């Protein structure tokens, strides 16, 4: 049985009701790994009493667990929303935290679109209704996601009418706008989806950064490719900082003027002039009905292939960096040139990853088989 929570890990009022005392294996069977990250792994779990399948995120606790507690607090605050992945229970034992969450099995947004082989403006409008309303709900609780992208827009199941779920609140933050000191400051997000004010990193930024990311998602689902793309990240960021995007022919020729207009009003460099969730919901395109134009699914599939290649490249870089860090820590490598190589590998990982921060050293095994 786990002991009492340490003072530095005391749960917030919002998350207190999710904490359980005892061994998680008394209630759940912990099965195979279904996902991994820099700080955690996710395993499939089964509730022994009900048979319900769940996702169990397992995290090795550090001396400063503030990031973990922040994510838990945020999930607890939005647990009542049907389009957010649900938090169920939290266990803490043997230096690890087990976060039991809803298991979503329907795949990512782009995979679903490609499988359907059809996605028109009405489909895009229905998607944006869900995303904007959910983001509005999060913002009403002072929560900024900061990493909205298609990989974090999931479907609850493989059913045709499965609800959409927004996932991965690892970079989310509570926004406290009492004064300028309450502005968000951290440079984070995913290249291609990050807002210009986040990249500028001058004077802080507001929840409006999420609306920029929704603008990028909308652009992609209307045409099949992203508005900002370049192999060199500094040039990609220059495009974003200038909102340098275009409606290319022939992919945008049949897209309605109203759809192009809402994209332009979301991808505005000045966050004060960018559409808010309420304004976006009131935009004429959001009020229309009818199929309109269809996305070029082949174009979208090509974009997804490139994303997957980048993920594979990112994984290789992370493995190399982790190996070098481990060798240095064990004394099998010396400082000097190898350390420089480790830094170079970490830099590549940091540029490609969804955060702009280098990865930590590899953790010990997270679950005793």
Residues labelled catalytic: 147
Q: Are 276 and 243 in contact (CB under 8 A)?
A: no
H and E: helices and strands count for the chain:
11, 9
For the chain, the distance separating the N- and C-terminal CA atoms, rounded to the nearest angstrom, is: 18
The answer to whether the Cα torsion of 343, 348, 351, 352 is positive or negative is: negative
**Token pair in block for residue 335:** 């400082």
Residue 197 makes CB contacts below 8 A (sequence gap 6+) with: 205, 206, 208, 209, 269, 271
Burial of 258 (0-12, 13-18, 19+ CB in 10 A): middle
Burial of 287 (0-12, 13-18, 19+ CB in 10 A): exposed
In degrees and rounded to multiples of 5, residue 282 shows phi and psi of: -90, 0
Q: Percentages helix, strand, coil for the chain, rounded to the nearest 5?
A: 40, 15, 45
Q: What is the DSSP letter of 108?
A: B
**Token pair in block for residue 100:** 């039991």
**H or E element in which residue 100 lies:** strand 96-102
Q: Which of 168, 151, 165, 231 is nearest to 38 (CA)?
A: 168
**H or E element in which residue 235 lies:** helix 233-242
């Amino acid at each position: 049985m786990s002991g009492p929570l340490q003072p530095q890990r005391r749960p917030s009022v919002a998350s207190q009701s999710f904490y359980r005392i005892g061994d998680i294996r008394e209630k759940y069977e912990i099965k195979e790994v279904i996902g991994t990250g820099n700080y955690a792994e996710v395993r499939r779990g089964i509730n022994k009493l009900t048979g319900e399948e769940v996702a169990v995120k397992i995290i090795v606790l550090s001396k400063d667990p503030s990031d973990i507690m922040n994510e838990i607090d945020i999930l607890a605050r939005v647990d009542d929303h049907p389009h957010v992945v649900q938090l169920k229970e939290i266990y803490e034992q043997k230096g690890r935290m087990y976060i039991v969450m809803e298991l979503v099995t329907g795949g990512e947004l782009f995979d679903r679109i490609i499988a359907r082989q059809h996605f028109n403006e009405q489909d895009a409008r229905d998607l944006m209704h869900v995303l904007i309303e959910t983001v509005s709900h999060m913002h009403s609780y002072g929560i900024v996601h900061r990493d909205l992208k298609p990989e974090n827009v999931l479907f609850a199941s493989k059913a045709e009418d499965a609800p959409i779920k927004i996932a991965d609140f690892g970079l989310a933050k509570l926004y406290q706008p009492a004064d300028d000191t309450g502005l968000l400051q951290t440079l984070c997000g995913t290249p291609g989806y990050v807002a210009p004010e986040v990249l500028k990193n001058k004077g802080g930024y507001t929840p409006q950064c999420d609306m920029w990311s929704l603008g990028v998602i909308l652009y992609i689902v209307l045409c099949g490719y992203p508005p900002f793309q370049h192999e060199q990240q500094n040039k990609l960021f220059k495009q974003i900082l200038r909102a340098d995007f275009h409606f290319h022919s022939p992919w945008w020729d049949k897209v309605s003027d109203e759809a192009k207009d809402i994209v332009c009003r979301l991808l505005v460099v000045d966050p004060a002039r960018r559409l808010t969730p309420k304004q976006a919901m009131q935009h004429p395109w959001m009020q229309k009905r009818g199929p309109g134009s269809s996305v070029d699914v082949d174009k979208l599939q090509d974009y997804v292939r490139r994303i997957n290649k980048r993920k594979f490249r990112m994984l290789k870089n992370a493995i190399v960096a982790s190996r070098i860090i481990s060798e240095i820590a064990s004394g099998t490598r010396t400082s000097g040139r190898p350390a420089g190589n480790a830094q170079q590998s970490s830099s590549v990982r940091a540029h490609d990853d969804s955060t702009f921060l280098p990865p930590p050293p590899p953790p010990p095994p997270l679950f005793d088989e």
